[in-house]
Amino acid sequence: MDLLGGTGGPVRVAGRELAREELLRRASGVAARIGGADAVAVHATASLETVVAVVGGILAGVPVVPLPPDSGPDERAHILGDSGARLLLAARGAETFEGEPPLVPVDDLPPGDGAAAEPAPGATALVLYTSGTTGAPKGVLISRSAIAAGLDALADAWAWTPDDVLVHGLPLFHVHGLVLGVLGALRVGSPLVHTGRPRPEAYAAAARDDGGTLFFGVPTVWSRTAADPAAAGALRGARLLVSGSAPLPVPVFERLEARTGHRPVERYGMTETLITVSARADGERHPGYVGTPLPGVETRLAAEDGAPVPSDGETPGELHVRAPLLFEGYLNRPEATAASFTADGWFRTGDIAVIAPDGRHRIVGRASTDLIKSGGYRIGAGEIENALLAHPAVREAAVVGTPHADLGEQVTAYVVADGVDERRLIEFVAGRLSAHKRPRTVHLVDGLPRNAMGKVVKTRLGELAP
């Protein structure tokens, strides 16, 4: 199975470009260097070096572990240690820390000849770390066959062809930016223009100067675009605007349509499932709905007791998924893997959905209150709580997502502490975890609401806010 497809257009990242043939030559040189490694980490900046390194891992059949470039020391050490990565691929001069795997400067490696044995379809291609509801991030094992199945299904749904020019500026360490936004373009054969950052003016420039036809963004990107009449107007000539990674607010959908003339395509997925549900390029697009299951994907709704929930457009239930593009499990966590599936083999997404009689899906909430969707990121509250509790002045901490006009949700913390202010706590977390995980608001309170078992009742935290 050739995961990367055949011929295709160039890849440009932040203004630097490589023809596909040159990209594969450089990636082949990476593959020759890392061949036989158990796993390799990639310092996943928005750069051509990241693309070359990831493609090199794909060619070599070595699992690639994208490392968020803004990882704090605790998160970075956890990912590198838990994944077992033996090498760290990065651009020349990248900063490393004591105890980390040896650095391999991607730009110093000689190009290869492209000769490599094709890895087995079931081999692990990526280990993507995702925040759950508690504790440190878990490594999600994504196989080559799952990526291929997922990308082919999306190409069908979005009528994505080599004639498209894909434009986005999303981070290259998660499904949206890396799997869809890089491997998708390479598999389909369409040119890729990565704008470095997902700024409305950069998207507009790519539409005008590069003939961008297919644009990827998270709701925050589309909210900012809809608020910029000039940038939005430049996208009128595009073929498709795709929104994902978090729910797109209906007002943003409507403003975007008014300004660009496009009804955006919404889709739904998780790191563990890739993209499973999407509106189609040739179908109707309804605000608030994420579409219908992709080819090969089955979905169902279940009540808390496991009983079936009808697809009547009104009754909510936990969304379960069964598909060939599901993950292979959590790295070194068999108990967590087993707990994420039902006895009859369906993956429990933990998201609450409603399915209409015509198959349209609407995501209405989270089965728990501990997963925060902010600016397209899925952020685990437990990880931030652990970081806050590491501060010597903090006695108790609880973190939730609260509404935010631009980000969708913001990270909000309720903290019982002595002798420390909000600003210092925010800086403390930002120094330990990724920047997007820092609380935007910290409420210093006298105590947290708890039930008879001593568990924090997060639904009552809002009562404590001033």
* DSSP string across 55-103: HHHHHHTPPEEEE-TT--HHHHHHHHHHHT--EEEE-TT----TTSPPE
Q: Say how far apart CA 436 and CA 322 lie, in whole Å.
A: 31
Range with lowest mean pLDDT among 24-33, 50-59, 381-390, 447-456: 447-456
First vs last Cα of the chain: how many Å apart? 58
- Per-residue pLDDT of 421-432, as tens digits, reads 999 999 999 998
Q: What are phi and psi of 107, to 5 degrees?
A: -75, -5
Q: Report percent pLDDT > 70 for the chain.
A: 95
- Per-residue pLDDT of 10-54, as tens digits, reads 999 999 999 999 999 999 999 999 999 999 999 999 999 999 999
247-265 average pLDDT score: 91
- The residue whose two tokens read 């089955």 is 298
Range with lowest mean pLDDT among 2-6, 43-47, 74-78, 226-230: 2-6
* Dihedral angle computed from the Cα positions of residues 162, 261, 358 and 282, in that order, rounded to the nearest 10 degrees: -30
Range with lowest mean pLDDT among 2-11, 200-209, 330-339: 2-11
Go through the domains of the chain in sequence order and give each one's CATH number: 11-355 (3.40.50.12780), 371-464 (3.30.300.30)
Query: Bigger pLDDT: 142 or 306?
Result: 142
158-162 average pLDDT score: 98
Look at residue 378 in the predicted model and tell me its pLDDT: 67
pLDDT band at 6 (very low <50, low <70, confident <90, very high): confident
172-198 average pLDDT score: 96
Q: What does each C-alpha distance from 266 to 101, 228, 369, 422, 447 come to in angstroms? A: 39, 21, 23, 36, 40
177-191 average pLDDT score: 97
- Per-residue pLDDT of 13-22, as tens digits, reads 999 999 999 9
Residue 403: count other Cβ atoms within 10 Å of its Cβ.
Answer: 10
Look at residue 1 in the predicted model and tell me its pLDDT: 52
Residue 367 pLDDT greater than 70, yes or no: no
203-217 average pLDDT score: 97
320-332 average pLDDT score: 96
Q: pTM to 2 decimals?
A: 0.84
Look at residue 453 in the predicted model and tell me its pLDDT: 42
Mean pLDDT of the chain: 92
Residue 352 pLDDT greater than 90, yes or no: no
